[in-house]
Amino acid sequence: MESTNLLIHLYGSKDRALHSIKVLLENELEGLEVEVEVNQDKRGWATITLCGSDEEFALNLLVKKYGIPTYQPKIGKSYKGYVDAINDKYIIVNIGTEVIVDSASLKSVGVGSVKQKASRFGIIPHLPMEVEVTEEDTQTGAFKGKPTKKQEDIWWNWRKAPFDRVIVNAVTRSQLKAAIKRTGHERDINKIERLGLMEHAVVCKEETDGPGLVTEIGPLLKGVIGVVVGVGSTK
């Protein structure tokens, strides 16, 4: 079968990322008659080649779950992507091409600059983010968009929770677990949610202080870290 790009962006250590995605996809396809080969294209997307009697079924399964990069998005359509960059005026989301999400498109997540809004909801580089493309600049060809209702609901569920979440990107799950274990904070968390290949949410226990957890594990991780302080917390 010909190679196919999945909407999984590889960054950091190439060897580590390729190994991690291969293990992840093999687990996803457990029980199927298919072999997985994983590479990286020049844009940084995971490129997979499948071989076996179940290869067509397996490909459909992976594309449905992860999606594929979109280079010519359509106005009014929604796409999965990743946060590429954040500044005071806008967030850049990579869906295969760049989509600019400005402050006006983030009205539903409160007041302040885009950086302030992002910080409040744990929005950091590499975080998966679903956007609706709203317009294309006819002169520059740049696309603009806004978070989908589904995406906004996820953020608000994090914010309204009675516990904090620590968002940790650009590390493997094993590296994150090792940092938590080394600092003795296993008892302070409920679980680690997988948001992507190297993107995770550490779900704290209700009495655990998220910012304090970051202070402890942050120095042990060469990643990008954000915190969502649950406003429903009784701490």
Tens digit of pLDDT for each residue in 107-116? 998 899 999 9
C-alpha span between 161 and 151 (Å, rounded)? 16
C-alpha span between 9 and 146 (Å, rounded)? 21
What pLDDT, on the 0 to 100 scale, is given for residue 149? 97
- Span 78-150: which CATH code? 2.40.50.140
What pLDDT, on the 0 to 100 scale, is given for residue 14? 78
3-state DSSP assignment of residue 140: coil
What pLDDT, on the 0 to 100 scale, is given for residue 2? 77
Q: Per-residue confidence at 141, pLDDT binned at 50, 70, 90?
A: confident
C-alpha span between 179 and 204 (Å, rounded)? 15
What pLDDT, on the 0 to 100 scale, is given for residue 140? 81
Q: What is the mean pLDDT of residues 37-66?
A: 93
Q: Per-residue confidence at 106, pLDDT binned at 50, 70, 90?
A: very high
Q: What is the DSSP letter of 157?
A: H
3-state DSSP assignment of residue 177: helix
* Model confidence at 222: pLDDT above 70: yes
Q: CA quadruple 70, 120, 86, 189: dihedral positive or negative?
A: negative
Residue 163 contacts residue 230 (beta carbons within 8 Å): yes
Share of the chain above pLDDT 90, in %: 80
* Model confidence at 129: pLDDT above 90: yes
Q: Per-residue confidence at 235, pLDDT binned at 50, 70, 90?
A: low
* Domain topology for 4-66: Alpha-Beta Plaits (3.30.70)
Q: Per-residue confidence at 12, pLDDT binned at 50, 70, 90?
A: confident
Query: For the chain, which residues make up each domain, given as ranges?
Result: 4-66, 78-150, 161-228
Tens digit of pLDDT for each residue in 156-195? 999 999 999 999 999 888 999 999 999 999 999 999 999 9
Beta pairing partners, 47: 5, 39
Tens digit of pLDDT for each residue in 58-84? 999 999 988 999 999 999 999 999 999
For the domain made up of 161-228, the CATH class stated in words is alpha beta
Asked whether this chain's domains 4-66 and 78-150 adopt the same fold, the reply is no
4 alpha-carbon distance from chain centroid: 20
What backbone torsions phi and psi does residue 161 show, to the nearest 5 degrees? Answer: -65, 155
pTM of the model: 0.90
The total of other beta-carbon atoms located within 10 Å of residue 162's CB is: 11
